[in-house]
Chain A
Amino acid sequence: MQPTAHRHLERARSGIRQALSGWDAADLPQVQSSCQLLTAAASDLRLFESAVRAGEVPATAELCSSILAVKKEVIEATRVVDACVAFHRGLAARTGGAPPVYNAEGCIAEESAGLESEVHA
């Protein structure tokens, strides 16, 4: 594997880990900080994906296993975050306040487009 590409993958994995370990559902700045770490991890993965697409990274069993390990951590983080989303969706309904509007993907409609472009930038 190219050393740089490898570094991107490792950095993404480290970012996802930090985001999950620092995740505190009741602390808004902490949640935002975790989100920033995840966004940075997404950028690193984007660079890694580009390197793979360009054929700069030889496909090896070891690399596949590293990617699957990152995916496992992503699934774990997703479950924790989804649980918080579900909790607050219910809470929003409970408070009777104006609930956020969700699109077909289950995301808050007004923010999805902007966030998507930010991550892919």
Chain B
Amino acid sequence: MSNILASLTNAGNALDVFEQALSVVQNNVNNSSTPGYATQTLNLVAEPLVVTGGLTGGVASQGLQDSRDDYVEEQVQQQTSTLGLYTAQAQATGTIQSFFDVTGTGGVPTALNNLLSAFSAWSASPTDPTAEQTVLSSAQSVATSINGLANSLSSTSQQLDTQISSTVSQINSIAAQIQQYNQQELKSPTPDPGAEANLYAALDNLSQLTNFSTVKQADGTITVMLGGGDPLVIGTQVNDLSASDAVATNPPPTYPNSPPSAVITDSQGNDVTSQITSGQLGGLLDTRNRVLGSLLGNAQQQGTLNQFAQTLADTVNQILESGTVSTTAGAAAGTALFTYDTTNATNVAASLALNPAITPSELAPVDSSGNANGNAQQLADLGNAGNTAGNINGMNLVQFLAQMASDIGQENQTATTNQNTQQQIVAQATTLRNQVSGVSLDAQATDVLQFQRAYQASAQVLTVINDMLDTTINMMTVTT
């Protein structure tokens, strides 16, 4: 009789276990589109059967097993983070690029060309009041357009600061979600597929924003560290980040009054900016501090726009002040055409202005040797190739301005190309994650090797193609 009861009990227990297994399968189906969800399987084990010893056999569950693989997750997160970097760079540099008019129909290049043309016309008629007036109005336009460019770049800098703050808030919010997961994990260590799905969806979202690494602790909690190792979440502790602006003091600043750079600090006040090298935040910081810093200046550099504005003003002023307003003996010396903030080398472009004290008759076309249009001619020549006056890094003013526009164009083009390629790489990594998810990796070892060989074959052919293209290009260069 007891054997029959034992059998019935076993059958009942087995039904319970298989019902659990069915629930797990149903849960997998229901969550097939849930972000971060990975297929679960219920581990079934046979209970020992010893008829004489009272062990009645049967089947029991031994908990859920997750099909998620940490390596694969990390790969997708890293690639997503890189995509975030390129996307942010492409958007931000696209905005900056739009301020550099390369069509020649507006902006600083046109204003500069008009000024050089005005100098040229003035050199032909050095005593013509209309030509003198045109020089002043063209100089005013140059100053205004340079101010406008500097202001547009400063506004972009502020907009990037806002985006940086917003991104930091999103990171802190995700860190808080991970903290909640950890709290739950400590309270109830039983695996919860729903909570795991939320965790991994949160980590996927975090990877779009910044670079990080994770470590699963023995107590089931997840530790999240920024790229450089600074902890973001440890157990139930969150190390909130914050964004601010500051002039870097290490190394000591060459330009202490320069525009501040964006700085990210942790809750202890440690500067962790250098640890954020990827993700949307990495892209925003790179454009804000490196790209805009190179144009507007920062603690260590004057900025190419300020360099351009100062060289233009100094060169024009020096030429004018070295001459006289007419060839008459005892004629008055020339007056400076431009003024700017001489106390701050990183504020030249924003403060450049037409000298408010100058009048048309105070322009000095006569050079120090007494040539009636010597100065005006020197000014007109500033944009000519081969002219050395007003050169910056071996380029004349027009070339330097074109180089600035070209550099930012190159930044944008590189970021956009990288973004397009990275989109494909992320798509591939996600596809591979889906392929791997739900299968035993050990059973897939042979397939993995087959894929590896197929990829490698393609990589090899691409290397050969690349070498052939290099050879062909070299042959072309030799021929031309």
A contact set with B: CB distance below 8 Å: 12, 16, 19-20, 23-26, 28, 31-32, 34-35, 38-39, 41-42, 45-46, 48-49, 52-53, 55, 59, 61, 63-64, 67-68, 70-72, 74-85, 87-92, 94-98, 100, 105, 107-108, 111-112, 115-116, 119-120
Contact = CB atoms under 8 A, between A and B. Distances in A.
Which secondary structure characterizes the binding site on chain B? Answer: helix
B466 A74 contact: yes
B458 A81 contact: yes
B449 to A, nearest CB: 6
Contacts of B444: 95
Interface in B432-480: 432, 434-436, 441-442, 444-466, 468-473, 475-477, 479-480
Contacts of A64: 473, 476-477, 480
B475 A31 contact: no
Contacts of A76: 417, 420-421, 424
A43 to B, nearest CB: 10
Contacts of B273: none
B448 A92 contact: yes
B431 A26 contact: yes
Closest 3 interchain pairs by CB? Answer: A97-B445, A26-B435, A59-B479
Contact of A119 (B75, B442, B459, B461): B461
Given A45-B468, A49-B475, A80-B428, 16 more contacts: A26-B435, A35-B458, A38-B458, A45-B465, A49-B468, A67-B473, A78-B466, A85-B456, A89-B452, A91-B436, A91-B441, A92-B452, A100-B449, A107-B459, A111-B460, A112-B460
B456 A107 contact: yes
Contact of A81 (B75, B450, B462): B462
Interface of B: 69, 71-72, 75, 79, 417, 420-421, 424-425, 428-429, 431-432, 434-436, 441-442, 444-466, 468-473, 475-477, 479-480
A95 B442 contact: yes
Contacts of A72: 417
Contacts of B468: 42, 45-46, 49
Contacts of B459: 78, 81-82, 85, 107
Contacts of A48: 472
Contacts of A96: 442, 445
Contact of B480 (A35, A59, A70, A98): A59
B453 A100 contact: yes
B449 A92 contact: yes
Which secondary structure characterizes the binding site on chain A? Answer: helix
Contacts, number: 179
14 contacts: A20-B424, A23-B424, A23-B428, A52-B475, A59-B476, A76-B420, A80-B425, A84-B432, A85-B452, A87-B75, A100-B456, A107-B459, A115-B457, A120-B464
A45 to B, nearest CB: 5
Contacts of B446: 97
Contact of A97 (B71, B448, B461, B475): B448
A108 B473 CA distance: 29
Given A28-B451, A91-B441, A91-B448, A111 B456 contact: yes
B465 A108 contact: no
Contacts of B454: 28, 31-32, 35
Contacts of B425: 79-80, 83
A90 B465 contact: no
A97 to B, nearest CB: 3
Given A52-B472, A74-B469, A42 B464 contact: yes
A105 B460 CA distance: 10
Contacts of B450: 28
Contact of A94 (B69, B457, B479): B69
